[in-house]
Structure 1
Amino acid sequence: MTFDLGDGIRLRLVDHGDAEAYAAAYDVNRAHLAYWDPVRDESFYTVEWHNGLVTQYLRDHADGRAARFVLTHDDGRILGVANVTNIVRGAFHSADLGYWIDASLAGRGVMTRVIAIVIDYARAELELHRLQASTLLENAASQRVLRHNGFEQIGMAPKYLRIAGEWQDHLLFQRILSDS
């Protein structure tokens, strides 16, 4: 399942051969992501590390716990990711949404289109009732992506995630999928 976004850019589920492109994408975007991500050990930027992650991602997908997407270019580069993780079934039928995009594509509306596709996948393929997401308080770009895709802010969580080495407050968003 591949979604063509134009300009040689496609969205697809993670595959076995993605470790090298993952490592390269994170390495190229170190400075761009440093403010928004946890502090990363140098080993995180290696192909070996990402081989293990891709293996785990595929296992999680097979077990129904997650669906991880990569935004790729025709030349094989990974230009971003979108993840539906922590899928909980039962009475909840909900999951977390996370994403990032290569610095070269930031602010061009690409991630807004990606998230629309991921929402449709979460509704139709994963049969989820709800997606939730969080952003740092000052991450206006990510908040625009969420709002543009029908997410509503539902609160603020103090010291929610350890980002850039600090426990940081986050705005919480949700999108109900089963009513749309």
Structure 2
Amino acid sequence: MTLLTTPRTRIRHAGEADAAALWQFRMDNRAHLAPWEPLREERYYTQGHCAQTIFDWRESIRLDRGYPFLVFDPDEREVIATFNLANLVRGVFQACHLGYAVAQKWQGQGLMREALELGLAWALGPLGLHRVMANYMPRNERSGRLLERLGFQREGYAPRYLCIAGTWEDHVLTSLIHPKG
């Protein structure tokens, strides 16, 4: 299991025992994250669904298709953020999509940037990726600023790209490319 640590976080893949912590993160941030996520069925907000999610995540890692991470406080009492290196493609592409979420009460403290700096270094280093793509809705200015600070470059604009909160939303397309590539 990959474990990354920063001065204020412990970042790792989820295990079965983390279902309750993931559920708490989802419950605590349901309204906060709703404008930036797909519509969710009620089942999404159950511990059973969180356990299934973790099982699916572990399978994704085993198959080298995606690498979801939970970001904990240093004592691992609480999930403060999540990020996922998803839709991983090997071969001549060596790329993935980045998705992330930070708990409302931890926003504005630089924790997401701190975690992503380390996670992206891992993706472009030991994981062997060449490109990490991240897309955001133009009205999500915080996300745009975070990606810019992390070194992502704007590559395009996609009208009606993803169905978020029940509406097809435009997205700004960005990527971070391995510095030696």
State TM-score, norm by structure 1: 0.94
The amino acid that maps onto 1:2 is L
The amino acid that maps onto 1:120 is A
Q: 2: distance between equivalents of 1:58 and 1:178?
A: 29
* 8 Å CA contact 1:130, 1:178 repeated in 2: no
Q: 2: distance between equivalents of 1:120 and 1:48?
A: 33
- Whether 1:25 aligns to 2:28 is no
- Whether 1:51 aligns to 2:64 is no
Q: 2: distance between equivalents of 1:174 and 1:75?
A: 30
Q: CA deviation at 1:5?
A: 3.1
Which residues of structure 1 form unaligned runs of 5+? Answer: none
Q: 2: distance between equivalents of 1:123 and 1:75?
A: 26
Q: CA deviation at 1:75?
A: 5.2
Moved more, 52-61 or 117-126: 117-126
Deviations 1:116-151 (CA, angstroms, capped at 9, x unpaired): 111111012210010000001111111111111110
- Whether 1:91 aligns to 2:92 is yes
Alignment of 1:150-165 (within 5 A): 150-165=151-166
Which residues of structure 2 form unaligned runs of 5+? Answer: none
Three-state SS of the structure 2 residue aligned to 1:24 is helix
Three-state SS of the structure 2 residue aligned to 1:35 is helix
Q: Supply the RMSD in Å over aligned alpha carbons.
A: 1.4
The amino acid that maps onto 1:112 is R
Deviations 1:70-117 (CA, angstroms, capped at 9, x unpaired): 111225221110110100011111100010000011111111111111
Task: Report how many aligned residue pairs link the two structures.
Answer: 179
Identity fraction in percent: 32
* 8 Å CA contact 1:13, 1:68 repeated in 2: yes
